[in-house]
Amino acid sequence: MSRVWTWMRSLTGQWIMLMLLALLVSQMVFYFIYRAEQARAVLELRRDEVVARAVSVASLVETVQPELYPEILRATNTGVVRFWLEGDDLSEETESWQQKAREQLLKSSRPPAASELVTDSKARWQTMTVENGVVVRMLNLKEWNGFGLVIPVNERLWLHTVYAKPQSVARPPWSYYLSLGITALLLTLVSVLVARRVGRPLQKLTASAESLGRGEEVEPLPEVGADDLRRTAAAFNRMQLRLRRFVEDRTRMMAAISHDLRTPITSMRLRAEFLEDAETREKFIASLDEMKAMTESTLAFARDESATESTRMVDLNALIESLCEDLGAMGWEVSFTPGPERVPWRCRPNALRRALRNVIENAVRYGGRAMVSLEMQIDGLDIVVEDEGPGISAEDRERVFDPFVRLEESRNRHTGGVGLGLSIARSILRSHGGDVRLDEGASGLRVCLHLPGVES
Ligand SMILES: Nc1ncnc2c1ncn2[C@@H]1O[C@H](COP(=O)(O)OP(=O)(O)OP(=O)(O)O)[C@@H](O)[C@H]1O
Ligand SMILES: [Mg+2]
């Protein structure tokens, strides 16, 4: 059911449905026009025939004895045409004439339903002259899909005729349904082709935009096809180029600033040695060392950023496991609970390692130990790092991602960081289309490194 729904919402589905709807509406309009036209044509044909018959019946009646009248009338009456004789033309009284005509019709061998013979008070008699100069009076009975006729036989006798065939519209022939079916089929085929021509490039665009969001290198889209599609592809390619340049320029500027700050810091450091007051000198040098560390870290980060690593398929279980083993070998207390068997994921493995390392380092540094695990989510996966430390209060959880922000306690403990670890981790995860989130864990801080899944 949901697959049908998805298909109906797709470009191809919508296109086909709209085409078929258009076909249906046009055919319905055609059919109504066809029906009305056909009914009119049949009636006209019938009228000429019945008039001719009535005229001959009238002339026959004129030539025979009155005893034979009933015989003649019985022989000429059919299911839909009834003849009867009156000593009056009755034609001024259209409603009572219709009443009589109805009675006659109901007497026929195949009478129409009485309910279909509704009296038409607006019907008017028309006079017309047919072959041999016979003057015929005719009453159009639209509702009955028929008409009435009055023909004088002689001065004292009139022949009355009624023809009625309500609801007598013929169904369209089977060839009509066949042609309708073939048209629908052709339209569906054309729709599929057109939708494919439009849909394929759109799918490519979606896939490229998704990959770009995950930080993968994306081939420029082919700028082919209809004008609108070509323009969209060109716009996407330009956007991709500008984005990449923008990021590169920012990184380059960050690297230049940190690099250029090193010289004045070093010269200030040299001059500081000459300060006389020992306490001031110590503080000054400590501050300068801190500045130096900050610029060095920034520079290192900028260098890493600009060294473009390409995305690869790696098994995240293996990647995390090896990192944890390496850190464990350095004496850090790190444990890892792997996820399902293999977790192949497209990412920049070195960058991801660095991000995870920063978070594990924090857990060990501020929370005693790091417990790493891998959790599959509907929209991707989380690499979770928990510790047993004091955690971070809710109001500080966003702030700690800002560069050089270190919370008071850690500053006091003189742990040596500069406050870039989390901002680097977040920058790396965001360039993968994911993010880093901080939460309260069971016994300390819970850090989630979220990686988005690949849209199928
Ligand atoms: N697991 C944690 N438990 C408690 N506090 C933490 C934890 N992780 C980070 N913090 C706090 O957030 C601050 C910012 O962390 P971040 O990793 O960005 O910098 P840093 O660890 O101080 O320095 P760097 O990582 O650059 O060496 C830390 O100084 C610390 O106060
Ligand atoms: Mg850190």
- pLDDT of residue 92 exceeding 50, the answer is yes
Check pLDDT > 70 for residue 452.
yes
Residue nearest to atom 22 of ligand 1 (CA): 419
Proportion of the chain above pLDDT 90, given as a percent? 40
Q: Using the predicted structure, report yes or no on whether residue 283 has a pLDDT greater than 70.
A: yes
Question: What distance in Å separates the CA atoms of residue 47 and residue 163, rounded to the nearest whole number?
Answer: 8
Distance 24 CA to ligand 1 centre (A): 67
Judged against a pLDDT cut of 70, whether residue 271 lies above it is answered with: yes
Chain centre to alpha carbon of residue 346: 28
- Ligand 2 midpoint to CA 30 (Å): 76
What span, in angstroms and rounded, lies between the C-alpha atoms of 257 and 263? Answer: 11
State the ligand closest to the CA atom of 410. Answer: 1
Residue 84 structure tokens: 């009867």
Lowest mean pLDDT among 112-116, 202-206, 210-214, 220-224: 112-116
Where are the domain boundaries for CATH 1.10.287.130 in the chain? 197-308
- pLDDT tens figures, 118-166: 888 888 888 888 877 888 889 988 888 889 999 988 888 899 999 988 7
- Tell me which of 3.40.50.300, 1.10.1060.10, 3.40.50.1240, 1.10.287.130 is the CATH number of domain 197-308: 1.10.287.130
- Average pLDDT score over residue span 275-283: 90
Mean pLDDT over each residue of the chain, to the nearest integer? 88
Nearest-atom index, ligand 1, CA of 363: 1
pLDDT score at 31: 84
pLDDT for 415 beyond 70: no
Ligand 1 atom at minimal distance to the Cα of residue 362: 8
Per-residue pLDDT, averaged over 46-64, amounts to: 89
The per-residue DSSP string of 149-218 comes to EEEEEETTEEEEEEEE-TT-PPPPPHHHHHHHHHHHHHHHHHHHHHHHHHHHHHHHHHHHHHHHHTT---
pLDDT at 357: 95
Structure confidence at residue 456 as a pLDDT band (50, 70, 90): very low
Residue to mutate (ligand 1; options 400, 401, 409; most atoms within 8 A of CB): 400
pLDDT grade for 200, boundaries at 50, 70 and 90: confident
Q: Compute the distance between CA of residue 59 and CA of residue 153 in angstroms, rounded to an integer.
A: 7
Hey, whose CA ends up nearest to atom 4 of ligand 1? 391
| pLDDT of amino acid 199 | 84
Site of tokens 């770009």: 212
CA of 346 to the centre of ligand 1 (A): 28
Residue-wise pLDDT tens digits, 429-449: 998 999 999 999 998 999 999
Instruction: Summarize the confidence of residues 246-257 as an average pLDDT.
Output: 91
Q: Which atom of ligand 1 sits closest to the CA of residue 403?
A: 18
Cα 264 to ligand 1 centroid, rounded to whole Å? 28
Q: Which residues partner with 447 through β-bridges? A: 385, 438
**Stretch 221-232: mean pLDDT:** 89
CA of 399, nearest ligand number:
1
Ligand 1 atom with least separation from CA of 389: 3
In this prediction, residue 354 carries a pLDDT of 93
Tell me how far the alpha carbon of residue 290 lies from the centroid of ligand 1, in angstroms: 16
Residue with the bigger pLDDT between 187 and 173: it is 187
For strands 334-337 and 135-141, give the pairing: unpaired
User: Closest residue (by CA) to atom 25 of ligand 1?
Assistant: 421
- Tracing tokens 């022949």 back to the chain, one arrives at 159
pLDDT above 70 covers a percentage of the chain that reads: 96
Residue 242 has pLDDT above 60, yes or no: yes
Distance, CA of 193 to CA of 389 (rounded, Å): 61
Choose among 46, 57, 119, 131: nearest CA to 80: 46
Residue 147's nearest CA partner among 35, 36, 34, 54 is 54
Give per-residue pLDDT as tens, 378-411.
999 999 999 999 999 999 999 999 998 888 655 5
Please compute the mean of the pLDDT values over residues 197-216 and round it to a whole number: 87
Q: Tell me, what's the pLDDT at 170? A: 63
**Strands 370-377, 334-337: pairing kind:** parallel
pLDDT score of 160? 92
- Ligand 1 atom index nearest CA of 387: 1
Would you state the pLDDT for residue 304?
81
Residues 47-62 have a mean pLDDT of 89
pLDDT per position as a tens digit, 329-375: 999 999 999 877 788 999 999 999 999 999 999 999 999 999 999 99
Task: Name every protein residue with a CB atom under 6 angstroms from any ligand 1 atom.
Answer: 358, 362-363, 366-367, 387, 389-392, 400, 405-407, 410, 417-423, 445
Give the pLDDT of residue 402. Answer: 93
Ligand nearest to the CA of 296: 1
Dihedral sign (CA 113, 115, 116, 122): positive
Q: What is the pLDDT of residue 93?
A: 80
| Ligand 1 geometric centre to CA of 362 (Å) | 5
Q: Which pLDDT belongs to residue 95?
A: 85
* Gap between the Cα atoms of 404 and 423, Å rounded: 9
Which of 358, 362, 404, 418 to mutate for ligand 1's pocket (most ligand atoms within 8 Å of CB)? 362
Parts of the chain belonging to CATH 3.30.565.10: 309-452
Considering only CA atoms, which of 184, 210, 148, 163 is closest in space to residue 46? 163
Q: Is the pLDDT of residue 455 over 60?
A: no
Nearest CA to ligand 1 atom 10: 362
The pLDDT of residue 246: 92
Provide CATH code, domain 309-452.
Answer: 3.30.565.10
Nearest atom within ligand 1 for CA of residue 396? 12
Distance (angstroms) between ligand 1 centre and the Cα of 225 equals: 52
The per-residue DSSP string of 336-366 comes to: EE--SS--EEEE-HHHHHHHHHHHHHHHHHH
